[in-house]
Chain A
Amino acid sequence: TFVFRMFNIVLVDGVRTPFLLSGTSYSDLMPHDLGRGALQGLLNRTGVPKEIVDHIIYGIVIQEVKTSNVAREAALGAGFSDKTPAHTVTMACISSNQAMTSAVGLIAAGQCDVVVAGGVEFMSDVPIRHSRKMRKTMLSLNKAKTLGQRLSLLGSIRMGHLMPELPAVAEFSTAESMGHSADRLAAAFGVTRVEQDEYALRSHRLAKKAQDEGLLSDIISFQVPGKNIISADNGIRPTSMEQMGKLKPAFVKPHGTVTAANSSFLTDGASAVLIMSEEKALALGYKPKAYLRDFVYVSQDPKDQLLLGPTYATPKVLEKSGLTMEDIDVFEFHEAFAGQIVANLKAMDSDWFAQNCMGRKSKVGVPPMEKFNTWGGSLSLGHPFAATGCRLVTTVAHRLQKEGGQYGVVAACAAGGQVFLPKYTYAQLARADTEYSRGATVQVFLVHSFGLFSVHVLCMKMTMCKSVQKHF
C-alpha cells in the first residue's frame, strides 16, 4: 500500500550544458556524454551527497541504440552511486517534463525523497538504419549454417536493400512534418510572416540581453573531452527583419510563412534538476528555489491542433488552483516555432476558439508580453528536445527570484506519445498548495502540452520558500 504524504515538493536547483547548434563543437560526442555533463554539473553545484539520491530519471527523444537507458549510462559516468536506480522516459519535446513529474510522483507516493530529473538531446548524430530488407537479410545471415546458405543470402541483396532509413521527420499518425503543421496553424490563426519574424527577433534579442547580463546562470561549463571548454549557447543571433525577410519558406512552398529563421533549430544539449520533498531539503540545509505545485497534461487532435496545447492547458491548471492569469508573474512557454507561439497567443485571445474548440464561455486571455519569455526562448537559446523542460522550470525559478514574483507558469507543446497521471498525484499536490497559502509564496506552474490523439499539458506550481536558510 502507498503511503500518501502531505509534503511539499521543491526544486532545489537546476543546471544545463550550453545549448549548441547541432554539428558544432559537440558533434563528436554521444548523448550520454552531454547527460553526464549536466548531471555532474548538478552534483557540483548543489553538493548533494551521492548516496542520498534515491532515483534518477532522464528524458531523451531520439535514442542512441548503444545507450538505450541513457539515464543509467549518464548517471554512472557522472559519478552518481551505482546503487541509485535510473530510468529513461520519452514524451517528445516534453520528455524532461515527464522526468520531473515522474519525480514528483515518486516523492508524493512516498517512494523517494531525493530525485534527480533531466533530459538530453543530441541531434549531431542520429541513428540511420539499414533498410528493413537489408536488416532481414543480415539477421538471416547470422542464422545461416552453411556457406551455400550464406552465399545465396548475399546473392539476394539488390540495390533496393542499400537504401538507408532515416529517422522519421513526420508525425507517425498524420504523416505531416511539424514544420508543415506549424505553417498551417499559423495560417489558421492569420499569423503573418512579419509577425512571426518579429517574434523570432524578439526572442533572439531578449536572449542576447539575458546572456550579456549574465542571467542565464543555469548554464554550467562543459569541457568537450580533449578539446575546449564551452560556456555559452551559440544559437543566439539577433539579425534584422530585413535579413529574416529574405528567407524562403522551409516547409510549405511557395506561399508558406514558416522559415528557418522563425523556427527553433536542431540543438545539442542536456539539463538536470534536483527535486526533493521539502522536509528532506530543509533537513539537508538547502534553500530550495521553488515549490513545484501542480501540473496537468492535455492532448488533442494531432492533425490540426498539434501545437495548441498551451492554450488548452494554461486555463486548466489556473482554474485547478483557483488562480487567474493576472496572478501569474512569470510565463515561460516553449517556442517550437514563432508561428506556433503567436497562434497560441491569438487562440488565447479568441472567444470563438474558446467557445467552439474548448467548450469555454469566453477566451482564456493572453499573458502580458512583459512577463513572457523575457530571457529568450527555444527559438534563440535552442531546443534540445528532451532537455528543454528542465530549462523552462529552472528559468522560471530564476526569473521569480530575480524579478521578485510569486507565481509562474511553464507550458510546452510536444508530439507523439501520451501519459495519464494517476489521480492521487493531483490530489496530493493540490492539498499541499492550500496548506502553504498562508505563507509568503511564489508559485510556478508548469504547463506542457502535447499533440497527439490526445495532448497532455503538464503544469506545475512551484513555491519558493524564503524562510529557509541554505546551510552546507
Chain B
Amino acid sequence: MAGVRAVGILSRFATSKYSRLSGHGHRSLSMSSSLLARTYANYEIKDGVAVIRINDPNSKVNTLSKPLQAEMTEILEEIWGNSAVKGAVLISSKPGSFIAGADLNMIQACKSAEEVTTLSQEGQKMFDKIEKSPIPIVAAINGSCLGGGLEFAIACQYRLATKSKKTVLGTPEVMLGLLPGAGGTQRLPKMLGIPAAFDMMLTGRNIRPDKAKKMGLVHQLVDPLGPGLKSPEEATIQYLETVAIEAAKNLANKKLSVKKEKGLVQKLQDMVMGLPFVRKQIYNMVTKKVMGQTKGLYPAPLKIIECVQTGIEKGTTAGSLAESVNFGNLAMTSESLALRGLYHGQVACKKNNFGSPARDVKNLAVLGAGLMGAGIAQVTFDKSVRTILKDTTVEGLTRGQQQVYKGLNDKTKKKAITSFQRDTTMSFLTGQLDYRGFDQADMVIEAVFEDLNVKHKVIKEVEAVIPPHCIFATNTSALPIKEIAAASKRPEKVIGMHYFSPVDKMQLLEIITTDKTSKDTTASAVAVGLKQGKIIIVVGDGPGFYTTRCLAAMLAEAVRVLQEGVGPKKLDALTKGLGFPVGGAALADEVGIDVAAHVAEDLGKALGSRFGGGNVEVLKTMVQKGYKGRKSGKGCYVYEKKSKDKKVNPGVEEILKAYQLKPAPSVSGDEDVQYRLLSRFVNESVLCLQEGILPDPVQGDIGAVFGLGFPPCLGGPFRFVDSFGADKLVQKMHRYEEVYGNQFSPCQLLLDHAKDSNKRFHK
C-alpha cells in the first residue's frame, strides 16, 4: 500500500508541458541591457532591495527550466554588481506556485546519464553562488515549493512562507525515482538534522507551512489575506512581498539574524549526532528500513542515503559529486522512467476528456450505507455536494453514518479541519431510509448488494422517483453494466462507477460506459469523480471491466499456486517481492473471499477456461466454512485484534490439502511463480486493450497501479511490457502454456509486440 500511497503524492508535483516550446534563443539580445524585460524572471529595485519575480509565461506553474536558470543567473550577476542593492527578494507572481520543481522535460530530453549529471551540476553551481551571496536573499514562498524549487529556496539566506492552503514544501523526487539533485541532499541534513532530512527526502511527503516553521525549514510565516483592494491572491502576494522586503532590509542592516538560539533538545541531538558511531547506526537503520519497505526494488532511496552519508562523512565536495552522478544514473533507470510515466499518466487521468456536462451535480444520492456506499458519500458531501445516504435498515444507516463521521472527526483530531468545519460539512449529508428528496437528485450512485436481481429492483424503484435528467450510476465490481441497465427505462443515463475500498484512501475510480451511455452522462460521471478527488479511467463494458478482470486472472493463478503447496505466507512474499504493496493471499482476504469466489465464478462462466487455473471450489469451501477474509476474522489468515504477526488459518491449510495439485517442477521455481502471476495479469491487460475495453495504455497503467497496486516500480502492465520486452515475456508465457494450457496463451497484440521490437505501448 505504501508504494501506491507514495505515488499518490505525486499529484502535487506539477510540471510544465510547454516550457520547452519557448526557447531562449532570443535571450542574447537582452544580455546587454538590464532594463530589457525578460521572459521568465524580472526584477525591480524597491528601497534598496531587488525584488526578483518569477513568472513562466507558458504555464500555470513555475518550473526550474534552462531558460529560467539562464535569466536568473543574469539577474543575480546584475544585482551583485550593483552596490545600491543591499538585499534581494525571490518571489513568484503566480498565486499557487513558487517553483513547483525542475522541468521534467529537461530531464526527459537527456540521452545519457552524463547529460543529466551536467544538469545537476549546473544547478548545484548556481545554488552555491546564491548560498555565498554577499547580500541577503529572501525566498518568499507562496504556493508549491517542491523539488528544485525547494533546493533553490534553501540556498537562500532567509525563507518566508504564506500559510495558504496551496503552500507546500517538499522533495518529491524520490516519488519519481530520483533524488534532490541540486544540493538538496547536502543542505537539508545540515539545516534540519540528519533524521528529519532523511524523513523528508525518503518519503517525499508534502510539508505544510506550520510544520515547515517548526522544523526550521522556513523562518517566518505570513497569513494569507482576504479580498481587500485586490483579489485575495494578489493581495497575499503583495503582502508577502512587503514583509519579505522588510526582512531583507533588516537582514542587511543586521536587525534580523538568521541564527537562532538552539534549545536544549537541539543541542543534545547535535551532540549525539557528532558521534560517528551514532551516525553509522542511523545510516544502517535507515537503510534497513528502506530495504524492508522497498524490497530493494527502488534504487532512489538508497542513493539518497548514500549521498547524505558521503556529504557528511567526506565533505560537501564529495557529497555534491555523489549527488550529481547518482542523479544522472537514477534518471536513466527503468524505475524512474516508470514512476515518471505514472506521474504524467495520473495528470492525464485528472482531466475530463468528455467536455463539461450539461448540468452540475449538486444533489447526489447514494444507495446502501455499507462500507462502499458510506465511503462514496464520504468523498462527496465534503466537497459541498448535498448528499443523501439511503439504506434500508436503521442499523445499516447508523453504521454508515458513523463511518462518515469518524472520517471527518479523524481529520479534526489531526487538526486538518476545525470542529466547526466538521459540523458545517456534516450538514451536507442526510441519512434516511426512504426516497424523500430523490426528486431533486442529479445523480444516484447505488452500492447495494452485488446481485443482478437486487440491482434490477433498485433501478426500477429509483427511476420511479428521480427526475428525468438524473443519472443512475452503479457501483459494481464485476456485473456487466449492460445487464444492469436492461431494467432501465433510460439506459443512456446508466453508467458504471467502480470505486475501490476504502473509498477515501484509494485514488482510482473506474468508470464503465455501455454502448448506450450518452456522452453527457459520461462527462457528468467524470466531473463528479474529479470533484471527489479521484484519478479516473474510463473503460468499456464487459465482464469484470478492466481492473476486476486483470485481478481475477492473477488471483486464479494465486489459488493454483496455493493448491500446489506454496503457503499463503510464501505467496505473499513472492507477490510483494514483485513490488505489489499487498501480497496475493492478504489481498484476497482484504477483498473478501466471498467476493473473490463470486467474481471468479462469474468471470469463469463468461470468459471460459482462460480464467481457470486454481479451483473455484477452494474459495467456495472457504466461504462455506466462514473464512470470508478480514471482515469475518478468518480468511487465508486469522485476524486477531492487536496481533501483529498474522497466523495462517489452519482450516485453509486443510482445504488446500484436499484440493492439492502436483506442482510442475519446470515452472515452479520462485521466479517462475512470480512471472506466472505477473504474466496472467499483464496478458489480460493487453487483451483488454486489444478488445477495446481499454481506450489506451496510459489508462491501463494508471488503473492497474492506483486501483490494484500493480508494482509502481514497473509503471503498470504496459510500461512493464515495454521495458521488460514483449518477446521475453512471450517466451516465458509459452513455457507456462506448455504446462498449463490456454491460460498462458499470449494475446494477439502481445504477440505483435513480441514480433516487432519497434512496437511500444509508450512512446
> What is A's interface to B at a CB cutoff of 8 Å?
172-175, 180, 183-185, 187-190, 252, 254-255, 301, 303-305, 343, 346-347, 350, 352-353, 356-357
Contacts and interface: CB of A to CB of B under 8 A. Distances in A.
Contacts, number: 60
Given A184-B226, A188-B226, A173 B420 contact: yes
B162 to A, nearest CB: 11
A301 B220 contact: no
B230 interface: yes
Contacts of B239: 187-188
Interface string B229-252: 111100100110001001100000
B229 A303 contact: no
Given A188-B229, A190-B229, A304-B225, 9 more contacts: A183-B223, A184-B223, A185-B226, A187-B225, A255-B246, A303-B226, A350-B229, A353-B229, A356-B231
B76 interface: no
A352 B228 CA distance: 8
20 contacts: A172-B420, A173-B418, A183-B223, A184-B223, A188-B227, A188-B235, A190-B228, A252-B223, A254-B220, A255-B222, A301-B226, A304-B226, A304-B227, A304-B232, A305-B227, A346-B228, A350-B229, A352-B229, A353-B228, A356-B231
A356 B227 contact: yes
Contacts of A255: 220, 222, 243, 246-247
A185 B420 CA distance: 22
A168 to B, nearest CB: 12
Contacts of A187: 223, 225, 228, 235, 239
Given A172-B420, A174-B420, A255-B243, A189 B229 contact: yes
Candidate in A175, A301, A346 with the most chain B CB atoms within 10 angstroms: A175
| Top 5 A-B residue pairs of the complex, sorted by shortest distance between their CB atoms | A304-B226, A188-B228, A188-B225, A189-B228, A173-B420
Interface of B: 220, 222-223, 225-232, 235, 238-239, 243, 246-247, 418, 420
B225 A184 contact: yes
A180 B247 CA distance: 20
Give the one of B229, B239, B246 with max A CB within 10 A. B229
Contact of A174 (B232, B243, B418): B418
Nearest to B250: A254
Greatest chain B CB density within 10 A among A172, A184, A303, A353 is at: A184
A179 to B, nearest CB: 12
B413 to A, nearest CB: 14
A200 to B, nearest CB: 20
Contact of A353 (B227, B246, B418): B227
A214 B439 CA distance: 68
Nearest to B239: A187
Contacts of B232: 188, 304
Nearest to B415: A175
Contacts of B222: 255
A4 to B, nearest CB: 36
B234 to A, nearest CB: 10
A357 B227 contact: yes
Contacts of B238: 190
Nearest to A192: B242
B44 to A, nearest CB: 18
Contacts of A352: 229-230
B600 to A, nearest CB: 51
A275 B223 CA distance: 45
A180 B223 CA distance: 9
Contacts of A180: 223
A310 to B, nearest CB: 15
B241 to A, nearest CB: 12
B356 to A, nearest CB: 25
A304 B230 CA distance: 13
Nearest to B231: A356
Contacts of B235: 187-188
Best-surrounded residue of A183, A189, A356, A357 (most CB of chain B within 10 A) = A189
Contacts of B227: 188, 304-305, 353, 356-357
A337 B229 CA distance: 19
Contacts of B247: 255
Query: In this complex, which of A190, A347, A353 has the most chain B Cβ atoms within 10 angstroms of its Cβ?
Result: A190
Contacts of A189: 228-229
Contacts of A301: 226
Contacts of B230: 352
Contacts of B220: 254-255
A305 B226 contact: yes
Nearest to A191: B228
Nearest to B223: A184
B411 to A, nearest CB: 14
Contacts of B228: 185, 187-190, 343, 346-347, 353
A304 B225 CA distance: 7
Nearest to A347: B228
A254 B243 CA distance: 10
Contact of B418 (A175, A183, A184): A175
Nearest to A346: B229
Contacts of A175: 418, 420
Contacts of B223: 180, 183-184, 187, 252
A184 B225 CA distance: 6
Nearest to A170: B418
A234 B502 CA distance: 63
A371 to B, nearest CB: 24
Nearest to A175: B418
Nearest to A189: B228
A414 B415 CA distance: 26
B221 to A, nearest CB: 9
Contacts of B231: 356
A451 to B, nearest CB: 11
Nearest to B246: A255
B260 to A, nearest CB: 13
Contacts of A254: 220
A184, A187, A357: most-surrounded residue (chain B CB, <10 A): A187
Nearest to B423: A173
Contacts of B243: 255
Contacts of A172: 420
A172 B420 CA distance: 7
A180 B222 CA distance: 12
B242 to A, nearest CB: 8
A346 B223 CA distance: 20
B225 to A, nearest CB: 4
Contacts of A174: 418, 420
A8 to B, nearest CB: 39
B142 to A, nearest CB: 14
A304 B229 CA distance: 13
A198 to B, nearest CB: 19
A187 B243 CA distance: 10
A185 B226 CA distance: 7
A256 to B, nearest CB: 9
A350 B228 CA distance: 9
Contacts of A185: 226, 228
A193 B225 CA distance: 17
Nearest to A187: B239
A252 B223 CA distance: 9
A189 B230 CA distance: 8
A122 to B, nearest CB: 27
